Amino acid sequence: MGINLLQVEMDEIRKRLNREPDEAEWRVIDAVWSEHCSYKSSKIFLKSFSMESPNVIMGITDWQDAGAVDIGNGWAIVVKVESHNHPSAVDPFNGAATGVGGIIRDIISKGAKPIALLDMIRVGNLKIRKNVWLLKNIIAGIAAYGNSIGVPVVGGELSFDDTYNDNPIVDVAAIGVVKKDRIKPSIVNRPGLKLVLAGLTGIDGLGGASFASRKLSGENEIGAVQIADPFAGKIILDVTLDIADKVEAIKDLGGGGLAVAVTEIANGFGAIVDIEKIPLRVKDMDPSDIIISETQERMLYAVDEKNVEEVCEAFKQYEYPCSVIGEITKDPIIRFRYHNKDLVALPSDLLLNPLRFIWPIRRIKKSNEKTTVQLPPLKDAISVVLSHPDLVSKEWVYSQFDYEVNTSTVIKPGHADSAVIALPNGKLLAVKGDANPDLCYEDAYECGKGIVAEAYRNLASVGAKGIVAVDHLQFGDPKKPEVYYTFVEAIRGIGEATRFFNIPIVGGKVSFYNENSRGNPIKPTPLIVMAGLIQGKLLKNNIEDGLDIVLLGYTHGELGGSLFSKMFNISAEVPKARLQEDLLSSELVIDAINEEKITFAKDVNRGGLIATLFNVIVHGYGIEIDSKSILSDSDNTLETLFSENGGRFIVLTNEPEWIIDRAKSRGVVASIIGKVNRNSSLLKIDDTIYNLDNLVKNYFNFLEEVTNNG
């Protein structure tokens, strides 16, 4: 049958039904009970996340396609994050493009207008030609869909590691806006509603949910990848927003196709679907294939009978297929009929309540002993770390995106730590996505806390305070005790940090089985996407000659999980997430922005202080630093300059005394560590000058040269 269920699950299904399911029923159960759709190995732990906040309108509730929070003046934002990892590994263009299309439909399923996209991409070593091919086509797929549909890609991440050689990570987040009294549910609350399907069903994406719930086999799996059609997606977007007030519930057809969409929208009621009424792209499709097909650009609507004609008429104006395929019933059985004969007749309760699993865990013991390996000279360390592709300009990527469509983009990609977009209520929203796989590999708990804190700091660097987050948890096979341990620990850290900052998590995704064909898992890659409102003034980052460089926060000599330790294979202590320091320093930065006391702010993270300062140098300036003025618990210059511990910002100012005095009153450590000058590409540390001209050229040219030659 080609299904992906465990024997214990199959036995349980037979027991609950008291019979043997038909083949079509097995395929439906396989889709609905897949890890991708049911969260059967994660849901128990996800309940530890807090969604309690007076601003939360719609949070982590079963079968809602996205979360929503109140932003004032009668408006709400809708937030969602998704991935298309396995499809992008097999067909990077369509895998990435359909990831964009899918998350757009999640947003409009709430009746919200999508206004921004973020893409967080991780691929393998660019010395391998296949990875260059993957990267180029992933970027092309995102650009093709986002540009065609008219939603700007305003920010994201791009990083590289050997762990992603066969299994790239392609995360896409989206933001939408809607009047809060017009938010639509993805589930019904009464029987008798008609099920209306818009779009054609084809043979692409067959078994996609099951495909995403197992490791890549290395075989030809192209049939499990959906095909993108952004122009059809634009019709779905426009018409759905036009008819939203005419429907009771809206459900995107994603993983599991109609099998999952019908089951979830029914919300414990039953449904009858007549398969022969489903508009097809391919003639003579097998009826069971129709049920589980994951063809894109389809939406399912629950509609009161009196509004059905008006809903379908809106699609007919675009000559887009729209058909009544069934209805919601009081009898809690999900039925898929073919010419009045039941192919599938399964209780809603069975489908919506799969077995939950808590797998064995085994702690990975890593040494916290400081290495005795010979440390490199500072000059070599600077050159090696700043040459890493994680730190180069990403302009080659975002230049392919139309990031100013709809004219709501306030800060363009690459100009600050967070993207900023204008909202219809006159407010400004900052958004950022953060992950740190190297740190998670060393300590998933500290990493979970750290990525929440980093996202919070990134918002503060433009003047925003975080108000909401979504998460995406990406790991290998959960049945492997070491993998499951990192998953549980990451959740523990994320939960602790979001509760500390009072940031509700209103949605997310879990992606397991991110492994290559040899069974090697990716590094643990939890991701936080956070959004926040500008608290007063907006900082756009300006650099001038003569500005003082002030470091906020205390530097700890913790090199574990850092880019430095990765490049030089050094074992060291992992940085602890000191959340109070992150909070206080972030509040200070926001105050300084509102008081117009700083012109530039950047939090210290990947690459440590050196990489943060390099972001000043690449704008055509030089800097001079007194390392003795850096307040640190280490007397080792390498530890001080390359540690990636949190709680820190570099700010540029003409009024350093104000910063220092305000820091003292807030309990924040602060010190003047240097000045900006006109000596382009020169970094002076104490009495030594380093010419970074070649590193600056590499910063701007690396990605374009690699992709052109690859």
List Cβ neighbours of 709 (8 Å cut-off, separation of 6 or more).
Answer: none
DSSP 54-75: TTEEE-S-TT-S-EEEEEETTE
388 is in an annotated binding site: no
Q: Do 291 and 32 meet the contact criterion of CB atoms below 8 Å apart?
A: no
Angle at 267 between CA 262 and CA 270, to 5 degrees: 65
What CA–CA distance (Å, rounded) separates 271 from 340? Answer: 14
39 is in an annotated binding site: yes
Containing 327, the helix (H) or strand (E) segment is: strand 322-329
Q: How far is CA 363 from CA 488, 534, 599, 701, in A?
A: 10, 41, 45, 42
What CA–CA distance (Å, rounded) separates 28 from 370? Answer: 53
Alpha helices in 63-111 (DSSP H): 85-90, 92-108
- Tokens describing residue 465: 């305070």
What are the phi and psi torsion angles at 580 (to 5°)? -60, -40
Q: Do 302 and 329 meet the contact criterion of CB atoms below 8 Å apart?
A: no
252 is in an annotated binding site: yes
What CA–CA distance (Å, rounded) separates 115 from 406? Answer: 8
Alpha helices in 354-460 (DSSP H): 378-386, 395-398, 437-442, 444-460
Residue with tokens 């970094």: 683
What CA–CA distance (Å, rounded) separates 621 from 599? Answer: 15
Q: How far is CA 588 from CA 130, 510, 632, 666, 667, in A?
A: 45, 34, 20, 8, 10
Catalytic site includes residue 556: no
What CA–CA distance (Å, rounded) separates 28 from 263? Answer: 10
532 is in an annotated binding site: no
What CA–CA distance (Å, rounded) separates 348 from 340? Answer: 20
What CA–CA distance (Å, rounded) separates 35 from 41? Answer: 7
82 is in an annotated binding site: yes
Q: Where are the beta strands (DSSP E) in 451-577?
A: 464-474, 505-511, 527-534, 548-552
Q: Do 110 and 244 meet the contact criterion of CB atoms below 8 Å apart?
A: no
* Nearest CA among 242, 236, 210 for reference residue 223: 210
548 is in an annotated binding site: no
CB-neighbour burial class of residue 90 (10 A; exposed 0-12, middle 13-18, buried 19+): middle
> What's the one-letter identity of residue 315?
F
What CA–CA distance (Å, rounded) separates 508 from 574? Answer: 27
Ramachandran region, residue 2 (left: φ > 0; alpha: ψ -120 to 50; beta: rest): left
339 is in an annotated binding site: no
Catalytic residue among 84, 388, 472, 556: 84
Q: Do 710 and 396 meet the contact criterion of CB atoms below 8 Å apart?
A: no
Containing 334, the helix (H) or strand (E) segment is: strand 333-338
- Tokens describing residue 196: 């209306």
**Residue 100 in 3-state DSSP?**
helix
List Cβ neighbours of 364 (8 Å cut-off, separation of 6 or more).
Answer: 482, 485, 486
85 is in an annotated binding site: yes
472 is in an annotated binding site: no
Containing 209, the helix (H) or strand (E) segment is: helix 208-211
> What's the one-letter identity of residue 36?
H
CB-neighbour burial class of residue 470 (10 A; exposed 0-12, middle 13-18, buried 19+): buried
105 is in an annotated binding site: yes
Residues contributing to the annotated binding site for Mg(2+): 82, 106, 252
- Binding-site positions read 39, 80, 82-86, 105-106, 226, 252, 471, 508, 511
Residues annotated as part of the active site: 36, 84
* Residue positions forming the annotated binding site for ATP: 39, 80, 471, 508
Which residues are annotated binding-site positions for substrate?
83-86, 105, 226, 511
